[in-house]
Amino acid sequence: EERTSGLYKDLHVYQLEHPTQVIEWTSGRTVCVAGFSPSKNEILELRLPRKLFADENKGLCAERDFKVVHGGFTDRPVRCLRHVPGTRCAVTGDGLSSNLQVWDLGGDDSDVIRRTGSIEGRRRRTGVSEGGSSIAARPSSPPQILHGAQISDVQLTELSSGQTLYQLESDSADPLSSLHFLSDAVFLAGCSNGNIYVADTRTSAAPQLSPPPPPPVSSGESVLWWTDASAGPDPSGCRVVRLSSSGQALVSDLRNLGGAVSRAQLDVQTRRCGPDDVRVSWAPALDDCIAVSGFSGAVQIYDASVWTSELQEARPLFEHRGHAVSPEQSDDGVPPILVTSHVWHPERPRTLLSAASDGSVHVWDWVDQSAADKR
């Protein structure tokens, strides 16, 4: 069957010694990656190939390679990493506890990434085993981060002092899958069970809760959900996408989170996924496009503008299959290559980075064939 893998304007590849589950922008041209093995791991800041940004006279730009600009080591896995905007600081979580590590990413005078402190997560009221924290950051002075592993322990912490500036008032033990700032004060918390909470750090009022739709009848096993929110100047115009482990995507409006504006059954290879496996993300500079990864060795781009309120099957607009060039490789006992992370470039509309379980990192700029065909 012919699948939608397409044309590239650009594609550059890099090989890490160990795979990463995190790709985080530290500027428009640099990203942080880090390993997730149980013991010692590298944290690296990579500069993207200069050729990617040489829009004029690409042929004259010789530098095609990624370059390590800063690096350091951690004795824990890195399952979550957030750069704090406006600083040379990053915060990491190990996926095992709600405690976080704080890092100085180095500057012009030093190529070393070093740990400068830690942040303690709130203690659980429930006896459940610890899970990893989600982290969100936004430009603020002094720098602050929002973090938590479940709804009842979400808090806003000032980085320099460790002071707690806000705590979410909830008794819910729903495990978090992601946190997103919608404005300076309003944030959205997406839970693994599909619940979405919206709260405001300026008030102690209870958060607004929106439960997920009922699971498909045929599933039989528990469904995991992943969430992303579209960024914009006005949080009330924000749209939320929820993606289930059965491949169902739902788009809601922040003003009516309970109702789905549109929905689709995505063309993904469903498998038994863990909470850290799947990524779904709105394109920040391209209307209505959503990227999905973690189900296979591919990153898929979907156009959500054609989805309707009726659940219908959706085909990807584009599919990046470069990480898993040979789908037959799983036949000989070698596990199939899976995409471990992807991220859109904050300003370049069709540029993404993706990483896979074999340690490969790709930066690629895709061509929308459907738009090209219409011209």
- Please give the pLDDT value at position 359: 96
Is residue 291 one of the residues assigned to a domain? yes
Query: What is the side-by-side strand order in the sheet with 225-229?
Result: 225-229, 239-244, 248-253, 256-266, 312-314
**Mean pLDDT score, 182-191:** 94
Whole-structure pTM value: 0.92
Is beta strand 312-314 parallel, antiparallel or unpaired with respect to 256-266? Answer: parallel
Report if residue 57 sits inside a domain.
Answer: yes
Q: Find the mean pLDDT for residues 241-246.
A: 94
Q: Does the pLDDT at position 240 exceed 80?
A: yes
Confirm whether 1 is domain-assigned. Answer: no
Q: What is the pLDDT of residue 136?
A: 97
What distance in Å separates the CA atoms of residue 300 and residue 280, rounded to the nearest whole number?
A: 10
What's the mean pLDDT in 295-316? 95
More confident residue, 137 or 97: 137
Instruction: Please check the confidence at residue 347 and state whether its pLDDT lies above 70.
Output: yes
The predicted model gives 229-247 an average pLDDT of 87
- Centre a 10 Å sphere on the Cβ of residue 20 and count the other Cβ atoms it contains: 26
* pLDDT value for 60: 57
Residue 130 is predicted with a pLDDT of 56
Distance CA(230)–CA(286), nearest Å, equals 11
- The mean pLDDT of 139-147, rounded to a whole number, is 93
CA atoms 181, 76, 334, 357: torsion sign: positive
Instruction: Kindly report the CATH number assigned to the domain that includes residue 71.
Output: 2.130.10.10
Mean local confidence (pLDDT), 282-294: 96
Q: What is the mean pLDDT of residues 152-164?
A: 94
**If pLDDT is split at 50, 70 and 90, which confidence band does 328 have?**
very low
**Tally of structural domains, the chain:** 1
Strands 339-344 and 351-356: antiparallel
Handedness of CA 63, 283, 176, 98 (dihedral sign): positive
Q: Is the pLDDT of residue 251 over 60?
A: yes
Residue 319 lies in a domain: yes
What sign does the dihedral 39-40-44-49 (CA atoms) show? negative
Q: How confident is the model at residue 303 (pLDDT cuts 50, 70, 90)?
A: very high
The residue segments making up the domain with residue 321 are 8-371
The pLDDT mean for the chain works out to: 88
pLDDT at 58: 59
Mean pLDDT score, 35-48: 95
Q: Confirm whether 320 is domain-assigned.
A: yes
For 118, the enclosing helix (H) or strand (E) is strand 114-119
Kindly state the percentage of the chain with pLDDT values over 90: 69
Q: Is the dihedral of CA 346, 348, 351, 353 positive or negative?
A: negative
* pLDDT at residue 373, as a whole number: 64
User: Which of 7-11, 168-172, 316-320 has the largest mean confidence?
Assistant: 316-320
Residue 2 domain-assigned (yes or no): no
* Phi-psi group of 305: left, alpha or beta (phi > 0 → left; psi -120 to 50 → alpha; rest → beta): alpha
Q: What is the pLDDT of residues 112-141, one digit of tens each?
A: 999 999 998 876 555 454 578 999 999 998
- Per-residue confidence (pLDDT) for residue 1, from 0 to 100: 31
Residue 3 lies in a domain: no
| Domain-located, residue 283 | yes
Q: Tell me what pLDDT residue 97 has.
A: 87
